[in-house]
C-alpha cells in the first residue's frame, strides 16, 4: 500500500477538502474517494521529504532499460518469473529501481499476474510498456516483448541525448552573451558616465540610453527580478498544468519555424515505431493504434491522429485511415499500404520510422550548425551596440581634448 495526497470536493455539499489516503495506486485511491462521497480533482503520491526526495528517488531511463534487458534475458533462458525478478533485483544497482523490482516481485509471488504487478507503478511504466507486458504475457512471447521495449527505449534515449547535446553549445554562447553584456553595463558604462561628468561634457545619445538602462537595472533590479520570475513562473504553470496551456504549447511545437518540421518527424517516428512494436507483439490493430497515438505525447497531434480510429473501425485499412491526417508525413501511409498488401505491416511501419529517425538525426545536426552562427551574429550586434556607446565616445572625447 502507498500513501497519496488528494484534493477533492464533497458530492453532497461541493465543499473543497484535501488530505491523504492509503491505496495500491492512483486509480484505487480515486475509487476509494468516490466510495467515501468525494469527487477527486488531484491525486499524487505522498512526498514527505519534498522535491529533493522526488529527484533522489526518480527512476532514470537508463535504469529501466537495464532492468528490462536483464529481465528479458532471464525469461528467454527459461527461468520462472519470480526467480527472474529476484535475480534482477539482486543485480540492480539503482536503489529506487531495486525497490520497484522488489515490489513487483512480491506482487507476482502473491499470485498476481505480471501485468497487474507492473500496473501498480504507472509512475515508472507507461501505457506502451504495460500494453506490451500484457501482450507478451498473454501470447507467451514475454522475452521478445521485453527485448523490443529495451531496444525502443534505447533509441528514444539516444535521440533525446542527441537533441540535448546539440543545444549545449548554443546555450553556452547565449550565457556568454548575457555575461559579456552584464559586465559591460556594470563595469564600463558607469566609468564613461563619470568621465563625461568630470569633464562637463554632454553624453552622446546612445551612451545616455545605456546609462539610463544601467541606472534603471541598478535601482530596480529586484522589481525586474520579480517581474521576470513572475512571468516565467506563470507561463510555466500555464503550459504545464492547464489543459489550454498544454494544448497551446503542443500547437506551438508543430508550427514554430525551423523546429516545427523537426517535431513533426519526431511524433511521426514515435507513432510508427510504437505501432510496429505493438503489432509485432500481437496486440490487436485498434489497440495498437490507440497506444501508438498516445506515444506521440502531443495533445494536438493525438487529437488529429485519433480521427483515424473511427475510420479503422468502419472497416477501412490503416493506410487509408491515416492518409489525410494533418501532421502525418506521407511515407507512413505509403509504407502501411505496402505492408497491408504483403502482410508485413509491422515491418513496413518500422522502416518508415527508421527513415524519419535518420532524417531527424541529420536535421538536429544541421539545426545546431545553423543556430551557432545566428547566435554569434546576435552577440556581435549587441556587443557592438555597447561598444558604440562606451569605447567610441571615449575615443571621441580623447580626440577632442588633444
**DSSP for 123-169?**
TTS-HHHHHHHHHHHHHT-HHHHHHHHHHHHHHHHHHHHHHHHHHHH
Residue 125 has a CB neighbour count (10 Å cut-off) of 20
Q: Is the pLDDT of residue 49 over 60?
A: no
Q: Is the pLDDT of residue 56 over 60?
A: no
pLDDT bin (cut points 50, 70, 90) of residue 268 is very high
pLDDT at 401: 61
How much of the chain exceeds pLDDT 70, in percent? 93
Do residues 214 and 389 lie in contact, with contact meaning Cβ atoms separated by under 8 Å? no
- SS3 category, 50: coil
pLDDT at 1: 52
68: nearest Cα among 20, 5, 124: 124
- SS3 category, 45: strand
pLDDT at 351: 92
For 202-217, the pLDDT digits (tens) are: 777 777 887 888 888 8
Backbone angles phi, psi at 12, to 5 degrees: -75, -45
pLDDT at 54: 47
Do residues 61 and 150 lie in contact, with contact meaning Cβ atoms separated by under 8 Å? no
pLDDT bin (cut points 50, 70, 90) of residue 251 is very high
Residue 297 has a CB neighbour count (10 Å cut-off) of 12
Q: What is the mean pLDDT of residues 15-31?
A: 74
pLDDT at 319: 92
Least confident of 189-193, 240-244, 251-255: 189-193
How much of the chain exceeds pLDDT 90, in percent? 13
Strand order through the sheet with 16-23:
16-23, 2-10, 38-45
For 139-194, the pLDDT digits (tens) are: 778 888 888 888 878 877 877 777 777 777 777 877 887 887 788 778 777 877 78
Q: Is the pLDDT of residue 7 over 90?
A: no
Q: Which residues contact 384 (CB under 8 A, 6 or more apart)?
A: none
For 382-392, the pLDDT digits (tens) are: 777 777 777 77
Q: What is the mean pLDDT of the chain?
A: 82
β-pairing, 38-45 vs 2-10, is: antiparallel
Q: Is the pLDDT of residue 226 over 90?
A: yes
pLDDT at 24: 66
* Measured distance CA(331)–CA(291) in Å, rounded: 20
pLDDT at 399: 67
Q: Is the pLDDT of residue 47 over 60?
A: no
pLDDT bin (cut points 50, 70, 90) of residue 402 is low
Burial class of residue 85, CB neighbours in 10 A (0-12, 13-18, 19+): buried
Amino acid at each position: 500500500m502507498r500513501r497519496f495526497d488528494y484534493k477533492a470536493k464533497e458530492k453532497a455539499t461541493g465543499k473543497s477538502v484535501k488530505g491523504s489516503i492509503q491505496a495500491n495506486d492512483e486509480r484505487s485511491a480515486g475509487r476509494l474517494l468516490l466510495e467515501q462521497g468525494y469527487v477527486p480533482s488531484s491525486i499524487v503520491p505522498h512526498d514527505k521529504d519534498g522535491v529533493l526526495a522526488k529527484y533522489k528517488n526518480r527512476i532514470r531511463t537508463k535504469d529501466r532499460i537495464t532492468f528490462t534487458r536483464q529481465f528479458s534475458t532471464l525469461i528467454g533462458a527459461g527461468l520462472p518469473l519470480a526467480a527472474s525478478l529476484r535475480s534482477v533485483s539482486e543485480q540492480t544497482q539503482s536503489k529506487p529501481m531495486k525497490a520497484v523490482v522488489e515490489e513487483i516481485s512480491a506482487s507476482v509471488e502473491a499470485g498476481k499476474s505480471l501485468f497487474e504487478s507492473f500496473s501498480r507503478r504507472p509512475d515508472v511504466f507507461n501505457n506502451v510498456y504495460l500494453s506490451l507486458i500484457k501482450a507478451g504475457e498473454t501470447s507467451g512471447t514475454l522475452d521478445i516483448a521485453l527485448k523490443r521495449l529495451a531496444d525502443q527505449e534505447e533509441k528514444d534515449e539516444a535521440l533525446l541525448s542527441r537533441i540535448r547535446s546539440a543545444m549545449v553549445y548554443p546555450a553556452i554562447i547565449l550565457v556568454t552573451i548575457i555575461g559579456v553584456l552584464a559586465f559591460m553595463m556594470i563595469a564600463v558604462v558607469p566609468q564613461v558616465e563619470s568621465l563625461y561628468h568630470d569633464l562637463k561634457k554632454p553624453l552622446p545619445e546612445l551612451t545616455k540610453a545605456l546609462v539610463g538602462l544601467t541606472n534603471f537595472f541598478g535601482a530596480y533590479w529586484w522589481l525586474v527580478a520579480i517581474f521576470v520570475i513572475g512571468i516565467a513562473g506563470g507561463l510555466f504553470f500555464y503550459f504545464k498544468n492547464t489543459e489550454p496551456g498544454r494544448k497551446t504549447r503542443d500547437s506551438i511545437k508543430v508550427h514554430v519555424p525551423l523546429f516545427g518540421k523537426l517535431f513533426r518527424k519526431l511524433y511521426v517516428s514515435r507513432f510508427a515505431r510504437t505501432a510496429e512494436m505493438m503489432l509485432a507483439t500481437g496486440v490487436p490493430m485498434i489497440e495498437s493504434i490507440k497506444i501508438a497515438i498516445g506515444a506521440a505525447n502531443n495533445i494536438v497531434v493525438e487529437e488529429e491522429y485519433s480521427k483515424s480510429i473511427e475510420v479503422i473501425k468502419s472497416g477501412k485499412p490503416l493506410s487509408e485511415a491515416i492518409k489525410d491526417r494533418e501532421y502525418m508525413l506521407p511515407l507512413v501511409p505509403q509504407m502501411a499500404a505496402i505492408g497491408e498488401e504483403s502482410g508485413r505491416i509491422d515491418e513496413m511501419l518500422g522502416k518508415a520510422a527508421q527513415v524519419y529517425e535518420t532524417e531527424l538525426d541529420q536535421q538536429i545536426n544541421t539545426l545546431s550548425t545553423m543556430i551557432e552562427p545566428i547566435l554569434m551574429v546576435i552577440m556581435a550586434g549587441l556587443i557592438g551596440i555597447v561598444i558604440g556607446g562606451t569605447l567610441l565616445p571615449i575615443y571621441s572625447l580623447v580626440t577632442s581634448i588633444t
